[in-house]
Amino acid sequence: MWGTTAAAVRRLCAAGDVRSALAMLARGTKSGDAALDVTACTALVNGCCKGGDVAEARRVFDEMPLLGLAPNEVTYTALMHGYFTHGQREKGFALFEEMRRGGVEPNLYTYNCLIGEWCRTGEFERARSLFDEMPVRGIVRNVVSYNTLIAGLCRHGKLWDAAKLLDMMRTEGTRPSIITFNLLVDGYGKAGKMSNALHFFNQMKAAGFQPSAVTYNMLIAGFCRARDMTRANRALSDMKERGLEPTKVTYTILIDSFARENHMDKAFEILAGMEKAGLEVDAHTYGVLVRALCMEGNMKDARKLFQSMGEKGVEPSNVIYDMMIYGYGREGSSYKALKLIMEMRQKGLIPNSASYGLTIRVLCKDDKCQEAEALLDDMETVRSFAGHHQNFIASKSDSQQKDGR
């Protein structure tokens, strides 16, 4: 019975059927025959966390000693990761202290999990302290340990420190992965330091890695950000020569860059290439073009593009509607702006305050005071509902925390 129950729970968790696994635990506990082992309970904790029910994961964790089972480092790490993933970082760190007090030694994955959380909030001294503690505790750092720290440093602009970690990896005998190089290419690209980005791009190839479409997208985005469209196009050509097809992300990066530079003919040429390649043009890509047309006051073409979205089954987002309203408001087309607000409301979308404010001002300027007053009432209704909704969410969150849920 012991082996079969534990194995069944592990199988159910692996299949994603955590509820059935929990029911099996409950039945066994009730009958006094909860034949589980630490691995099965850890699978339950992990399954509950992945399903978003961290409170249930904690309940299973707390029930383990009652079943004569002591949570191990894997169990602790699974729950800790669950806390971090679902925004309960203080509980995650408290669990780490509980783990240490209980004499359970953290493993590689525990350290990687903690380093990742400290990096997420930019607390690099704490992250580095744990990173440096690993070899002292006999834990061999792996490529994930390094990549986690490099990713955090790049995300917060600490590029020199990130690059030094690559040197440290090599000294320590840990082979960088393609992810390591991608992180550095992306980090330097976002900082506009394209000579450094190209340096790590070339190092990647020298290390025996073939740049992926993701790598090229990062490189192209960097050149676009630096407004160097010649080198962006060169990177695109190199990408194709290597047999890599441009992705939806590639096209959108280029469309966005050409649109921001007001090269609309080139932006639409890229859009046509994207459609010819059979790639789905989503609301984000359309939004880039709509924004550019509205900003230059070309509402005729903006409207055509907006209407074509519906014809192609792409639903405009709040952002696109608000941009169109801004365009019409700026040119003084009060009724066109008002019509779009009414269309949004009918679809259950909520215009932003700027859309309401601009349309009300333009209506007033056109002496359409009745429509302006009605729109003002609608704005107040929306704000009131949003306020009540936020209060409800806050109250519910407070209640759940008090209940330990």
Q: What pLDDT sits at residue 392?
A: 34
Name, of 66-70, 88-92, 308-312, the range with top average pLDDT.
Answer: 88-92
Q: Which of 126-135, 316-325, 358-367, 377-386 has the lowest mean pLDDT?
A: 377-386
Q: What confidence tens digit (pLDDT) does each residue in 263-278 have?
A: 999 999 999 999 999 9
Name which residue leads in pLDDT, 299 or 4.
299
Q: What pLDDT sits at residue 393?
A: 40
CA dist 148 and 32 (Å) reads 44
What average pLDDT does range 104-118 have in this prediction? 95
Q: What structural domains does the chain harbor?
A: 1-105 (1.25.40.10)
Q: What confidence tens digit (pLDDT) does each residue in 179-218 have?
A: 999 999 999 999 999 999 999 999 999 999 999 999 999 9
Residue with tokens 């690559």: 166
Residue in 7, 3, 19, 97 with CA at minimum distance from that of residue 53: 19
Q: Give the mean pLDDT of the chain.
A: 89
Q: Which of 246-250, 328-332, 365-369, 380-384 has the lowest mean pLDDT?
A: 380-384
pTM: predicted TM-score of the whole model, two decimal places: 0.80
Q: What pLDDT sits at residue 389?
A: 40
Per-residue pLDDT band for 90 (boundaries 50, 70, 90) equals: very high
Q: What pLDDT sits at residue 33?
A: 53
Please report which residue ranges of 32-142 form alpha helices under DSSP H. 38-50, 54-63, 73-85, 89-101, 108-120, 124-136
Q: What confidence tens digit (pLDDT) does each residue in 370-388 have?
A: 998 999 998 888 777 554 4
Residue in 86, 88, 84 with CA at minimum distance from that of residue 114: 84
* Burial class of residue 144, CB neighbours in 10 A (0-12, 13-18, 19+): middle
- Are residues 349 and 377 in contact, defined by beta-carbon separation less than 8 angstroms? no
Per-residue pLDDT band for 396 (boundaries 50, 70, 90) equals: very low
Name which residue leads in pLDDT, 301 or 31.
301
pLDDT at 234 over 80: yes
